[in-house]
């Protein structure tokens, strides 16, 4: 792998981030909007930052941060769903994607730890 842009988990989490931004762009609850977009943005950002650190230990640490942000995002998506802030089907798709991204992150973390 030559670049973080080649990672499927980075591509998928970047896509999800863009879609979350689009879905909440007209939301007038600035605090909620800020929090959910920040957690969405944190996932691919931490994948990239960890990759660029050129240290397996640092990479794993940043992947764990990304996974935590993915859980934070999922929590906020559940709350948005209950508050009916965005179309239910769209939120369900976001939730499914966030679960898959979390699994991908865990798989990458486990793979890197086995290389120790």
pLDDT of residue 113: 95
CATH of the domain at 26: 1.20.1440.60
Return the closest-CA partner of residue 53 out of 12, 4, 1, 5: 4
- How far is Cα 32 from Cα 78, in angstroms, rounded to an integer? 12
- How far is Cα 113 from Cα 21, in angstroms, rounded to an integer? 33
Q: What is the pTM of this model?
A: 0.95
Which residue segment(s) compose the domain that 66 sits in? 4-114
Number of domains making up the chain:
1
pLDDT tens for residues 11-67?
A: 999 999 999 999 999 999 999 999 999 999 999 999 999 999 989 999 999 999 999
- How far is Cα 39 from Cα 73, in angstroms, rounded to an integer? 5
pLDDT tens for residues 81-116?
A: 999 999 999 999 999 999 999 999 999 999 999 986
């Amino acid at each position: 792998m030559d670049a973080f842009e080649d990672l499927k988990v980075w591509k998928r989490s970047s896509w999800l981030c863009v879609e979350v931004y689009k879905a909440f762009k007209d939301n007038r609850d600035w605090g909620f909007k800020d929090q959910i977009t920040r957690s969405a943005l944190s996932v691919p950002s931490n994948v990239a930052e960890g990759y660029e650190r050129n240290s397996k230990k640092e990479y794993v640490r940043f992947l764990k941060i990304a996974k935590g942000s993915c859980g934070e995002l999922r929590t906020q998506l559940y709350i948005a769903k209950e508050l009916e802030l965005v179309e239910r089907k769209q939120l369900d798709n976001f939730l499914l994607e966030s679960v898959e991204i979390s699994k991908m992150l865990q798989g990458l973390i486990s793979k890197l730890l086995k290389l120790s």
